[in-house]
Amino acid sequence: MKYTFDAIIIGGGAAGMLCAIAAKRHRPSLRVALLEKNDRVGKKLLATGNGRCNLTNKNVSPEKYVGNGAAPTVAAVLQKTDVPALLQYFKDLGLLTSADSEGRYYPLCRQASAVLDVLRFQCEALGVDVFCKEAVRRVQTQNGFAVFTEQNCFYAPKLVIAAGSPAAPKLGGCNSLDALALRHRTAPFTPALCPIRVESAVLKSLKGLRAHAEARLESNGIIKAERGEVQFNEDNLSGICIFNLSLYAEKGQRIVLDLLPNISERELYNILQKNKTNYAQQPADNLLTGILQKRIAQAVLKQAQVKDFSHPCKKLSEQEIRAAAKSAKALTFAVQGNMGFDRAQACKGGVLLPGQIESRTLQSKRIENLWFCGEALDVCGECGGYNLHFAFASGILVGEQL
């Protein structure tokens, strides 16, 4: 079947829905089609923020995002729709929000489904034509745009690509950008905001444990440092702070955990010297009793080359005490790469911005009346609502131009 509209938006996720809503609010008479390949729109939204939907963050700024030459575009998008503006936009749609102690904003009811319902209801109220189970196969760009799916053909003089990334394939994530880039150069999608595969002689002994630490990604110096809870798994490290490091992680680098970030190495050494006396008759693996969880303490001592735990603490040498203090401040893991798309919350990659996309409008410089927004662009933010903010803000920016 053939359909004709004023504008077509490909992708019924966060960016696509806000784009459709913004377009209809700006020009109510506009005929807008929203095409979604899944059986319903906004599927990924339901899983964000552990089912609570972390909409944005008090600390949104261009520094929270990565992408090849993306900074000017990110700055322009965030300037157009900053945090107060986005929160007001949602309030106008009927969604109330509140922030937690870390500055992360959620719906007041703490239900991601409420966010999706507000967006769905608004699309319906504004008269957006939503088509689900419409996977786009090809797009023709002569005399406007002809978008072909398996069942139908959609025509419009304006087109928005708001397709998502391959992250979270169980929620419908896939790489459809190859067919939708329309002669624009792209950076390949790679998993981001995900666990990092690592190697270490002590990793398996730590499986299932968690520890608060400062996690540093290092190569020739510190690349990125984050504080938070680290989860030890059989072949990887996880946790929000690790997810943020995954934006920069590459094989050959190392993750260094400071398990006691509020205590200096010298102070810890002095404490361990006292423990050597206090626990003189106890086996050596009790040296960090009262400081670290037992298995973590054993891993620290193994890295410090304390090989015989059956020896009493009093027999530990000064060199071993110093090495134990150093190890607790720098438990090290060799980076092997990020885990796969099935464990990723987002992706790096997408349509490259420099020379191709107008920073203040997100319109293509190559094809007239074509826009890109959300995950389709080579922009990826840290954990904490930054990616959803960019998706929503970029969708609004594009929608108001249609």
Q: Decide: helix, strand or coil at residue 212.
A: strand
Give the residues across from 7 on adjacent strands: 32, 158
Q: What is the spatial distance between Cα 189 and Cα 177, in angstroms, rounded to a whole number?
A: 9
Q: Which pLDDT does position 177 carry in this prediction?
A: 73
Q: Is the dihedral of CA 47, 49, 52, 54 positive or negative?
A: negative
Helices within 352-399 (DSSP H only): 386-399
Q: How many CB atoms lie within 10 A of CB 231?
A: 17
172 three-class SS: coil
**Residue (of 400, 387, 374, 371) closest to 21 by Cα position:** 400
Beta strand 186-192 with 221-232 is unpaired
Cα–Cα distance for residue pair 195/245, rounded to 1 Å: 9
| Cβ–Cβ < 8 Å for 197, 203 | no
- Angstrom distance (rounded) from CA 228 to CA 258: 11
First-to-final CA distance of the chain: 24
Please provide the DSSP assignment of 17-28 as one string.
HHHHHHHHHH-T
Cα angle, residue 353 at apex, residues 350 and 357 outer, rounded to 5°: 115
Q: Which helix (H) or strand (E) holds 337?
A: strand 331-338
Are 390 and 65 spatial neighbours (Cβ–Cβ below 8 Å)?
yes
How many whole angstroms separate alpha carbon 255 and alpha carbon 186? 29
Query: Tokens 């006292």 appear where?
Result: 274
Q: What is the DSSP letter of 57?
A: E
373 Cβ contact partners less than 8 Å away, ≥ 6 residues apart: 15, 16, 19, 160, 161, 162, 362, 391, 394, 395, 397, 398
The pLDDT value recorded for residue 165 is 86
Query: Which residue from 149, 94, 102, 142 is spatially nearest to 122, judged by alpha carbons?
Result: 94
Q: pTM here?
A: 0.93
Identity of the amino acid at 323: A
pLDDT at 252: 95
Q: What is the pLDDT of residue 176?
A: 74
Nearest to 158 by CA among 362, 349, 12, 355: 362
Distance, in Å, from the CA atom of 31 to the CA atom of 157, rounded to the nearest integer, reads 11
Per-residue pLDDT tens listing for the chain (402 residues): 999 999 999 999 999 999 999 999 999 999 999 999 999 999 888 888 778 999 999 999 999 999 999 999 999 999 999 999 999 999 999 999 999 999 999 999 999 999 999 999 999 999 999 999 999 999 999 889 999 999 999 999 999 999 988 887 777 667 777 768 888 999 999 999 999 999 999 999 999 999 999 999 999 999 999 999 999 999 999 999 999 999 999 999 999 999 999 999 999 999 999 999 999 999 999 999 999 999 999 999 999 999 889 899 999 999 999 999 999 999 999 999 999 999 999 999 999 999 999 999 999 999 999 999 999 999 999 999 999 999 999 999 999 999
Amino acid identity, position 268: L
DSSP assigned state of 323: H
Instruction: List C-alpha distances in Å: 326 to 165, 280, 289, 322.
Output: 41, 21, 16, 6
What is the chain's alpha carbon radius of gyration, rounded to the nearest angstrom?
A: 25
Task: Catalogue all structural domains in the chain, each as residue range(s) with its CATH number.
Answer: 2-190+346-399 (3.50.50.60), 195-339 (2.40.30.10)
**Cα–Cα distance between 267 and 306 in angstroms, integer?**
20
